[in-house]
């Protein structure tokens, strides 16, 4: 039985086959056409399979894709802000027939799942780019990927026979059913989720601890799927989180678990997506900071706050916690925001992932007002070509347990 907050759409989806059903599907995969998935598509496949993308049971058909692009809703009216699709080149798609099965495989030709092809359809890439990402420029990483994808979309339910294999962060990989069970065991009824693709700096720490004042526990849920090239690698970020939680957070009130999704950089729309997905993981609240899931100057600083006004709270079903622009104030001698600090901006030290990367790339050690000394040391070692070592996440050798703030 699903514990805690109701998953999006009413139930937690599970598309992973077991036992005899799995064996039958594996046999069936030998006699059908195959298609190789990209790393992005593999992460989406896994998210669908374990229920993180509930209520989706497969890659979107046209009846869901079009209203999601146009109105941020599925065909049944349920809020959903981003397309989750599988693309193919036109020549490749010609050999696929609707109603048949297609084996979905990774780069090693291991079959991951069967797709029961319900529909193959064309779509307008420029319209999709403009509606979803707010721009037609291929300098935007999400738009660039969209333009490079296939011309045909393949829709239909999936049945997973082999989960994608991971050799990293094994200790921290928990499915929605597992995080829900863990929260239940801890007695947490109010859980706040935090999405990040950056090392946690003092602004992140400040808003997380503010949120901890009003909930039972925090799910620190860093994204470890594909990101753009200049983002700090996931294994370095994870080492930072380990050190931070070990020294500066109450151990009984925080769960660190990785989020297997790839980064879309869709700004406001991705904020909605991140919130809905964290509801499926069992969170009742979700932190939305400045320029959530943004990139460059494509989105306004608080567009990710305003977009929630387009839905009724009960439709989203998870409570967003909005945080203003936060900074270190030299006069306050601590973290503050424009809501709490009376001092002139000349006293404010701006904190963001972009600024952090800039300082490190220039050989500077970020000051304690920016990030904890231990975190600065790990990041400095990385930027000077030394491996961030010493933690389980860096080595990737632990065993799996059980079966800006720019966020």
- Domain match, 329 and 348 both: yes
The first and second tokens of residue 39, run together, are 């790393």
The CATH number that applies at residue 82 is: 3.10.400.10
- Domain match, 201 and 332 both: yes
- Domain match, 36 and 102 both: yes
Could you give the CA distance from residue 118 to residue 56 in angstroms, rounded to a whole number?
14
- Domain match, 119 and 178 both: no
- Domain match, 273 and 329 both: yes
Last residue of a domain, one of 160, 189, 205: 160
CA 280 → CA 42, 178, 212, 261, distances in Å? 19, 11, 20, 14
Could you give the CA distance from residue 80 to residue 86 in angstroms, rounded to a whole number?
17
Phi, psi of 158 (to 5 degrees): -115, 155
Q: How many domains does the chain have?
A: 2
For the question of residue 157 being annotated catalytic, the response is no
Q: Which of 145, 180, 197, 237 is catalytic?
A: 197
Could you give the CA distance from residue 183 to residue 186 in angstroms, rounded to a whole number?
5
The CATH number that applies at residue 353 is: 3.40.50.620
**Is 63 inside any structural domain?**
yes
**Is 125 inside any structural domain?**
yes
CB 382 within 8 A of CB 332: no
For the question of residue 197 being annotated catalytic, the response is yes
Reported as a single tens digit per residue, the pLDDT across 139-175 is: 999 999 999 999 999 999 999 999 999 999 999 999 9
Last residue of a domain, one of 105, 126, 160: 160
The first and second tokens of residue 206, run together, are 């400040």
Last residue of a domain, one of 160, 191, 213: 160
Could you give the CA distance from residue 155 to residue 167 in angstroms, rounded to a whole number?
30
- Domain match, 148 and 65 both: yes
Q: Which of 198, 264, 280, 372 is catalytic?
A: 198
**Is 404 inside any structural domain?**
no
**Is 2 inside any structural domain?**
no
pLDDT at 363: 84
Reported as a single tens digit per residue, the pLDDT across 271-299 is: 999 999 999 999 999 999 999 999 999 99
Residues forming a β-bridge with 329? 334, 348
Residues forming a β-bridge with 320? 286
Question: Could you tell me the pLDDT band of residue 85, with boundaries at 50, 70 and 90?
Answer: very high
Q: Tell me: pLDDT of 222 over 70.
A: yes
pLDDT at 129: 98
Q: Which domain holds residue 101?
A: 19-160
């Amino acid at each position: 039985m699903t514990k805690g907050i109701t998953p999006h759409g009413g139930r937690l989806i599970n598309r992973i086959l077991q036992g005899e059903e799995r064996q039958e599907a594996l046999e069936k995969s030998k006699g059908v056409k195959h298609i190789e998935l990209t790393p992005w598509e593999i992460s989406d496949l896994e998210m669908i399979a374990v229920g993180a993308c509930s209520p989706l049971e497969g890659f979107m058909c046209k009846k869901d894709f079009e209203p999601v692009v146009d109105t941020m809703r599925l065909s049944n009216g349920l809020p959903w802000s981003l397309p989750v699709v599988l693309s193919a080149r036109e020549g490749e798609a010609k050999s696929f027939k609707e109603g048949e099965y297609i084996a979905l495989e990774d780069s090693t030709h291991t079959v991951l799942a069967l797709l029961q092809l319900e529909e193959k359809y064309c779509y307008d890439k420029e319209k999709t780019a403009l509606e979803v990402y707010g721009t037609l420029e291929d300098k935007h990483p999400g738009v660039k990927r969209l333009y490079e994808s296939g011309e045909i979309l393949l829709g239909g339910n999936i049945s997973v026979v082999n989960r994608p294999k991971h050799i990293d962060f094994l200790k921290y990989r928990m499915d929605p059913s597992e995080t829900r069970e863990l929260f239940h065991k801890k007695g947490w009824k109010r859980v706040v989720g935090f999405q990040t693709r950056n090392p946690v700096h003092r602004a992140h720490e400040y808003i997380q601890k503010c949120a901890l004042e009003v909930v039972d526990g925090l799910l620190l849920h860093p994204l470890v799927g594909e990101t753009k090239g200049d983002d700090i690698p996931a294994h370095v970020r994870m080492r930072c989180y380990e050190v931070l939680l070990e020294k500066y957070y109450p151990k009984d009130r925080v769960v660190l678990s990785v989020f297997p999704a790839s980064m879309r950089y869709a700004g406001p729309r991705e904020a909605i997506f991140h919130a809905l997905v964290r509801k499926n993981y069992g969170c009742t609240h979700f932190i939305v900071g400045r320029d959530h899931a943004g990139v460059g100057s494509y989105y306004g600083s608080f567009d990710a706050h305003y977009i929630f006004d387009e839905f009724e709270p009960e439709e989203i079903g998870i409570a967003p916690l909005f945080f203003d622009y936060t900074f270190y104030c030299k006069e306050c001698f601590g973290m503050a925001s424009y809501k709490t600090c009376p001092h002139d901006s000349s006293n404010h030290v701006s904190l963001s992932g972009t600024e952090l990367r800039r300082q490190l790339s220039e050989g500077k050690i970020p000051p304690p007002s920016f990030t904890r000394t231990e975190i600065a040391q790990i990041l400095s070692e990385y930027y000077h070509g030394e491996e961030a070592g010493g933690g389980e996440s860096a080595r990737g050798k632990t065993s799996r347990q059980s079966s800006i703030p720019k966020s």
